[in-house]
Amino acid sequence: MSDTSTPRTPRARQRRGKGQWALGYREPLNPNERSKKDDHPLNVRARIEGTYAHGGFASIDPGDLRGRFRWYGLYTQRKPGIDGGRTAALDPEELDDEYFMLRVRIDGGALTTEQLALIGEISQTYARDTADITDRQNVQYHWIRVEDMPTIWAKLEGAGLTTMTACGDSPRVILGSPLAGIADDEIIDATPAIDEIKRRYLGKPEYANLPRKFKTAISGLPDVAHEIHDVAFVGVHHPEHGPGFDLWVGGGLSTNPMLAQRLGAWVPLAEVPEVWEGVISVFRDYGYRRLRSRARLKFLVKDWGARKFREVLETEYLGRRLLDGPAPQAPGRHRDHVGVHRQKDGTFSVGTAPIAGRVSGSTLIAVAKAAERAGSARVRLTPLQKLVVLDVPETEVPGLQAELAELGLPSEPSPWRRGVMACTGIEFCKLAIVETKARARELVTELERRLADIESELDTGDSPVTVHLNGCPNSCARIQTADIGLKGQIVTDDEGNQVEGFQVHLGGGLGLDAGFGRKLRGHKVTGGELVGYVERVVRNYHAGREPGERFAQ
């Protein structure tokens, strides 16, 4: 139900302000806010288990189906066969399939091999063997039936996993370093803070009705894209107090991308949960709830600035001053952890590169078994859609590498396998305009063949040329932070036909090169021209670059 009965005069709009709760605007100003007020989204689980799982898809209330289900990681998936040109023209129910996408949140990307095998088994039994590693360290299933949700939750939760607030206007999965606690060069292990935030706040109603989604990254290494999170804690050495975290707020992509701002505050490990609670509370209370397009924290931070945000956080929420702290050292390029790396304890991590995160339940089970045979009991998923096996004794590394390569998971991949990411795209996503995963596979295969002559010169360690594909203007695959970012849209080909294609952004990056790629006006390619276009761009870059120069420079 919307508030269309409210008069929409300029004066009335002024009175309603931006919908900030802290300023007294508690009446819902759009249908999403109304839905959350009418019934807290966390309540939907009882209805799924008590009613919908028995009555099937047809029994689901539309408000739950297209709204509250998300708080448990469930979205309807796209009905097959609807082309991207019709996405915007159709009503949501015309796009809905009777199956769901289900996101399992995996905070810090950390899994035991037992959990990995269980995720694979659930995929085989309930998700037609689908499993994508997302760039938020989640696993995403497809073809899920509402009838199976009680059993799926029982299995996941029995193994310590959850889908709670994996989507929705809520605190999403917390990104953490895939090498937390084991990397030689990490400043601090953030794992205790991530665990404590989950223990204290996950699933609490007071933190699960936010203006919009709330993304967190906490890491002692520059490997979680902290610049584009609503809140990020970045490892830093304080000259007097030692290792801790630098606090950043207000990053985000999609339309109006913004880099997060430093608050200049240093936070010790033990205080991270409390400060996180303060930041999410500022967002809950002061965030803009009138327009969904301006509801992310980044808009509040832009309007307030870092100084005012810190002042409100300290005075109204923490009741104390935070310590000033130094900026983290400019990190190198965002690390993907692919390849073999020595851990602190003398064992090794083996990082592999599926193409754009696409694996399968069967593959995950096989990885779990191979890892256990090699003496490992732990794996990690990465924010670049990669998978890393931890704690492998040196003598077992070559055998594990060979087994993983057999499974389509090379640990010495081409730079294209390493550098390509893709969102879900038109195969399953209702918002999509173009296909992405299959295109990513074709792109990798073709670039490996066509650019073999310059591959060794381009494979610059942890800095492959990155190519990210999005299926629509949202930025699930972070196109603005790629060397070559491709935003799916309908374009006109040489014959005047409307076909799937991409708007090109060039020169984005994270870490040392943090900045958004330039959108080249009128620079669009059709899906059919994509491989040739990327090949030309890379060859031009290769021909003109200075020694040691990276793409974004």
Applying the rule CB under 6 A, the residues between 194 and 213 that interact with ligand SF4 are none
Considering only the stretches 30-38, 159-167, 311-319, 421-429, report the one whose residues sit in contact with ligand SF4 under the rule CB under 6 A.
Answer: 421-429
Residue pair 378/112 in contact (Cβ under 8 Å)? The answer is yes
> Pick from 162, 261, 424, 503: which binds ligand SF4 (CB under 6 A)?
424
* Shortest Å distance, C-beta 422 to ligand SF4: 8
* Shortest Å distance, C-beta 402 to ligand SF4: 34
> Pick from 104, 306, 312, 429: which binds ligand SF4 (CB under 6 A)?
429
* Shortest Å distance, C-beta 19 to ligand SF4: 24
Distance CA 509, CA 298 (A): 19
Partners of 266 in the beta sheet? 246, 323
Going from the C-alpha of 76 to that of each of 59, 99, 110, 146, 344, the distances in angstroms are 14, 6, 27, 10, 43
Of 132, 233, 115, which Cα lies nearest the Cα of 174? Answer: 233
Residue pair 380/336 in contact (Cβ under 8 Å)? The answer is no
> Pick from 425, 485, 508, 509: which binds ligand SF4 (CB under 6 A)?
425
3-state secondary structure of 315: helix
Q: Closer CB to ligand SF4, residue 224 or residue 423?
A: 423
Residue pair 306/43 in contact (Cβ under 8 Å)? The answer is no
Structure tokens that stand for 56 in this block: 């099937």
Q: Closer CB to ligand SF4, residue 221 or residue 472?
A: 472
Applying the rule CB under 6 A, the residues between 430 and 489 that interact with ligand SF4 are 431-432, 470-472, 474, 476
Quick one: 57 exposed, middle or buried, by C-beta within 10 A (0-12, 13-18, 19+)?
Answer: middle
Applying the rule CB under 6 A, the residues between 309 and 348 that interact with ligand SF4 are none
Q: Closer CB to ligand SF4, residue 263 or residue 431?
A: 431
* Shortest Å distance, C-beta 381 to ligand SF4: 17
**Alpha-helical segments (H) within 127-179:** 149-158
* Shortest Å distance, C-beta 366 to ligand SF4: 27
* Shortest Å distance, C-beta 476 to ligand SF4: 3
* Close Cβ partners of 401 (under 8 Å, ≥ 6 residues apart): 340, 350, 411, 412
Q: Closer CB to ligand SF4, residue 289 or residue 437?
A: 437
Q: Closer CB to ligand SF4, residue 42 or residue 422?
A: 422
Considering only the stretches 238-246, 387-395, 425-433, 452-460, report the one whose residues sit in contact with ligand SF4 under the rule CB under 6 A.
Answer: 425-433
* Shortest Å distance, C-beta 541 to ligand SF4: 25
Q: Closer CB to ligand SF4, residue 304 or residue 428?
A: 428
Distance CA 163, CA 45 (A): 11
> Pick from 122, 193, 423, 538: which binds ligand SF4 (CB under 6 A)?
423
Q: Closer CB to ligand SF4, residue 169 or residue 189?
A: 169
* Residue of closest CB approach to ligand SF4: 471
Residue pair 228/468 in contact (Cβ under 8 Å)? The answer is no
User: What 8-state DSSP symbol labels residue 418?
Assistant: H
Distance CA 449, CA 281 (A): 51
Q: Closer CB to ligand SF4, residue 263 or residue 421?
A: 421
Size, binding site for ligand SF4 by CB under 6 A? 11
* Shortest Å distance, C-beta 206 to ligand SF4: 28
User: What 8-state DSSP symbol labels residue 489?
Assistant: E
What single string gives the DSSP state of each residue in 364-410?
A: HHHHHHHHHHTT--EEEE-TTS-EEEEEE-GGGHHHHHHHHHHTT--
* Shortest Å distance, C-beta 432 to ligand SF4: 3
Query: β-strand 467-470 against 323-324: which pairing, if any?
Result: unpaired
Residue pair 180/141 in contact (Cβ under 8 Å)? The answer is no
* Shortest Å distance, C-beta 469 to ligand SF4: 8
* Interface with ligand SF4 (CB under 6 A): 423-425, 429, 431-432, 470-472, 474, 476
